[in-house]
Amino acid sequence: MLSKETLTKLFPDWEDGLYDAILNVAELKEAKAGTTLLKMGQNIKSAMLVVEGTIKLYQEDETGGEYFMYHLNPGEACAVTLVCNYHHEQSQVLAKAVTDIQYLAIPIEFMEKWLNEFKSWHYFVIKTYRSRYEELLKTIHEIAFKNMDERLEFYILKFVKQFGAIVNLTHQDIANDLNTSREVISRLLKKMEHNGWIIMNRNSFDWIKK
């Protein structure tokens, strides 16, 4: 059950009335690791705030390709779902649960209302957009200017920052996230192994650079 204590810990900057509003209208939902929470083109019915676990945000191609952009952690929100002026607004991103997660679903009817009502909500929305905008800039920087070896390194570093130095991903997982093929990732990881940046195991490797 969702408590006010949990909320104050997750969202320390909010005003009191906002916690009450959330408790009234938000639904606490759960999802298993691997679940797709939001598909591209899907109508957005509710805002999504992360309570527990980690979500990965992707850009998705019509032909099935995916490109990983950033992680969402507890206390963070999916930016695209926060401002839906018009109903039937469609998602431009793909969101997947990486771990088992808990999240708050708030019907989008309240978004416009809360922007008027709660100053701290307003700030939260702006803060969210600003930080995600910056993540997208970084993503563009990597794809536009870097080769796959550097992009792979950035990718691994993002993972390590999130989950620690034991990277339990298969080569295929990584290839999917970077919209390339397993062979390419395998060869580049071999190089990193030769350079002494990683120690490879089956289903995982350890990041030991520096």
Footprint of DNA (CB under 7 A): 147-149, 170-172, 179-184, 186-187, 189-190, 200, 202-204
Q: Closer to its own copies at the Cβ: 35 or 180?
A: 180
Q: Which one, 63 or 116, has the nearer CB to DNA?
A: 63
Binding partner selected for residue 16 from DNA, its own copies, none, CB under the kind-specific 5 to 8 Å limit: none
Smallest separation (angstroms) from its own copies to the CB of 84: 10
Least Å distance between CB 206 and its own copies?
Answer: 28
Q: What does 67 bind: DNA, its own copies, none (CB cut-off 5 to 8 Å by kind)?
A: its own copies
The minimum distance between CB 139 and its own copies, in angstroms, equals: 6
Q: What is the DSSP string of the chain?
A: ---HHHHHHH-TT--HHHHHHHHHH-EEEEE-TT-EEE-TTPBP-EEEEEEES-EEEEEE-TTS-EEEEEEE-TT-B-GGGT--SSTTPBPSSEEEESS-EEEEEEETHHHHHHHHH-HHHHHHHHHHHHHHHHHHHHHHHHHHH--HHHHHHHHHHHHHHHH-SEE---HHHHHHHTTS-HHHHHHHHHHHHHTTSEEEETTEEEE---
CA distance 139 to 148: 13
Q: In the range 115-154, which residues lie near its own copies by CB under 8 A?
A: 115-116, 119, 122-123, 125-126, 129-130, 132-134, 136-137, 139-141, 143-145
Check residue 90 for interaction with its own copies (CB under 8 A): no
Binding-site member from 73, 92, 162, 204 for its own copies (CB under 8 A)? 92
Q: Buried b / exposed e across 167-206, counting CB within 10 Å, b at 16+? A: bebebeebbbbbbbeeebbeebbeebeeeebbeeeeeebe
Binding residue count for its own copies, defined by CB under 8 A: 32
CB of 41 to DNA, least distance (A): 23
Confirm or reject binding of residue 79 to its own copies (CB under 8 A). yes
Residue with tokens 């104050």: 8
Interface residues with its own copies (CB under 8 A) are 59, 61, 63, 65, 67, 69, 79-80, 83, 92-93, 115-116, 119, 122-123, 125-126, 129-130, 132-134, 136-137, 139-141, 143-145, 179
